A and B are shown apart, each in its own frame.
Chain A
């Protein structure tokens, strides 16, 4: 990805980190379901079982991480200080 500007490279790396975190959460859910389905029935919070809590958490987590990504990403149109003028704004 050598042709990318610094901000693009930063965004791509940030994206991959967040992706890795979410992937771990998702895999946890899938493997619990597949290999320990009875764990998912255990009541956790406010009488709700783990299946519902974890499921809702995955949906909410996707939104939170998406917003986080949106906030942390550097914009290409308004280059940050580390970008050289030639690289910026492409």
Chain B
């Protein structure tokens, strides 16, 4: 889609980003020591820290990714919400207080509290870096998606802007300012999402005719004729012959063709043609239905989608909805979802054909519509295992994310850590309830962009008011800024504190340590910018699932066993972190999703039987820790 940036949006956007930066500079002046830079001197009030948890956690993945997935596939996206929130139970009940008791600045500190081992610091430092980078990619992708409709810049510009601003925040500030930025952003996100849901419920649903044509019903013989409804059928060649379900009709102007998807009806031998949209890239030019992308007279652009085709009782408008009525109306309606197929051409280019799928409303309120989750509706065991694996990684991942763990060092004691987690759970849980409304509201708003699932929530806001769109986008953008700052801070801590001081044994003064951390922040920031540009087409919620898998496999087993099993040895911890990290990373790199989405290879070539590694690699890391610990058990128990 082509967006016209609105002036109000630009002003609000820059006001937000400017405000966040100003606050950051103001608060950052005092953070000269490592205590201040990494842990805000342990002086952040618990309530502020709790909302900052929400700010850190409700990243682009939650706001953009989950809402987008719900908007295109229904309930499945909400499974992420549930898993993400459930993970906080592990954090609160098992990890929070011991983390606070054991550590000082970083996750490696906590793991290493008992042993003082270089190996542990090294393994934990590297795993922090890898998890942070995997978590950074989706944030950067989300930033790029946002900037396009907001300011009219291309995707890469958004990624570069976020990267640049965040590097500035982290370099000038540290944990104090990051926390306050997160606090403000977390509050704004929850408040304005609530407002968005309120306005959405007030508006209700509309079943108005959309911009897409329908032809038929036609018989099978009529479909095979050379003209349909007085328009000439373009003969299917150059790859189209493999896709008889699509019919292209000539137009009497020079704007490409119109493409239709052949759909069966309830009557035998009767078919309906519903208009589809085709996108092809040739020599870096995008063609929409065979005509160049643009707003000139001979150009075309993708039409926004996402409508209700039929409301209960065939009404055209539902009127304002209550929070429960909202779901019941959807259940009894018929929704137009969009799916796509790829047509391969002889010159190696591809056309993505997006076509309508009329879906009974009850099907978008149940699990198993998304192709990644469809396995639960099939008899094959691996599909179910893939789902279980993802839900396990989400459950175990939260409590092992480095940028969440370091937030336990910003409060003064275990009780404050506990209270701030409870505040975090309350605000995050409330927000996740809203995601289902926002996602389903976006699905039926008529404003969705077919090429970018990540934009569902902001585009829903735009269908209500431009001002709201500007505010929501600006918040989403600061969301990305905040999360990225936290992640880069966690990584720079890992480099300076764990790897350089802990492993290499370099002696540094406090000021030097902060300086090294800032240099590391710049380097990690640049890496994140590059990866954010490379991965631009993947749904950010899905990408975050990977980060959770790696975090849960590498960090959680070591942390849990250290807390609850006296027989844990340092070799056991090192082996567990290393095996968990390498096995989950390796599994992801060799999975069918990565083959298809990242390398562009045939997904059937991928050696792994399913995509989500958690169900294998988390137990593997536990077993590794136990076996290695037993093998390396000291001959005599220490006398203490």
Contact = CB atoms under 8 A, between A and B. Distances in A.
B419 interface: yes
**Chief secondary structure at chain B's binding surface:** helix
A35 to B, nearest CB: 7
A76 B75 CA distance: 43
Contacts of B367: 33, 37, 40, 51
Interface residues of A, number: 42
Contact of A37 (B376, B414, B415): B376
Interface string A30-68: 110111010011000011110110011011101101110
B97 A75 contact: no
Interface string B314-356: 0000000000100110010000000000000000000000000
A49 B93 contact: no
Contacts of A48: 324, 327-328
Contacts of A1: 563-564
Nearest to A70: B422
Contacts of A47: 324, 327-328, 331
Nearest to B101: A8
A62 to B, nearest CB: 6
A58 B366 contact: no
Interface in A14-31: 15-16, 18-19, 22-23, 26, 29-31
B88 interface: yes
Interface string B30-60: 0000000000000000000000000000000
B94 interface: yes
A55 B82 CA distance: 6
Name, among B75, B82, B88, B365, the residue most crowded by chain A CB atoms within 10 Å (CB to CB).
B82
A51 B75 contact: yes
B555 interface: no
Contacts of A41: 362, 365-366
A66 B79 CA distance: 21
A37 B391 contact: no
Contacts of B415: 73, 75-77
A7 to B, nearest CB: 10
**Chief secondary structure at chain A's binding surface:** helix
Contacts of A76: 413-415
Contacts of B414: 8, 11, 76
A19 B418 contact: no
B191 interface: no
B81 interface: yes
Given A40-B367, A48-B324, A49-B362, A66 B94 contact: no
Name, among B89, B90, B362, B376, the residue most crowded by chain A CB atoms within 10 Å (CB to CB).
B89
Contacts of A51: 75, 365-367
Contacts of A52: 75, 327, 365, 436
Contact of A26 (B78, B86, B327, B429): B86
Name, among B81, B93, B436, the residue most crowded by chain A CB atoms within 10 Å (CB to CB).
B93
Contacts of B376: 33-35, 37
B128 interface: no
B384 interface: yes
B82 A69 contact: no
B93 A16 contact: yes
B85 A66 contact: no
Given A59-B432, A66-B421, A70-B419, A49 B92 contact: no
A8 B367 CA distance: 41
B532 to A, nearest CB: 30
Interface string B422-450: 10011001001100100000000000000
Contacts of B564: 1
B357 interface: no
B395 interface: yes
A55 B90 CA distance: 18
Contacts of A56: 433
A10 to B, nearest CB: 11
A19 B324 contact: no
Nearest to B383: A34
A30 B389 CA distance: 10
A18 to B, nearest CB: 5
A63 B395 CA distance: 16
B394 to A, nearest CB: 10
Interface in B83-109: 85-86, 88-90, 92-94, 97-98, 101
Contacts of B477: none
B426 A63 contact: yes
B316 to A, nearest CB: 22
Nearest to B89: A22
Contacts of A16: 93-94
Contacts of A30: 387-388, 391-392
Given A26-B89, A26-B395, 5 more contacts: A55-B79, A59-B85, A62-B86, A62-B425, A70-B422
16 contacts: A15-B93, A15-B94, A19-B94, A30-B391, A48-B328, A49-B362, A51-B365, A52-B365, A55-B78, A55-B436, A59-B433, A62-B86, A62-B425, A63-B426, A66-B88, A69-B92
Interface of A: 1, 8, 11-12, 15-16, 18-19, 22-23, 26, 29-31, 33-35, 37, 40-41, 46-49, 51-52, 55-56, 58-60, 62-63, 65-67, 69-70, 73, 75-77
4 closest A-B pairs (Cβ-Cβ)? A15-B93, A19-B93, A47-B328, A34-B384
Interface of B: 75, 78-79, 81-82, 85-86, 88-90, 92-94, 97-98, 101, 324, 327-328, 331, 362, 365-368, 376-377, 384, 387-388, 391-392, 395, 413-415, 418-419, 421-422, 425-426, 429, 432-433, 436, 563-564
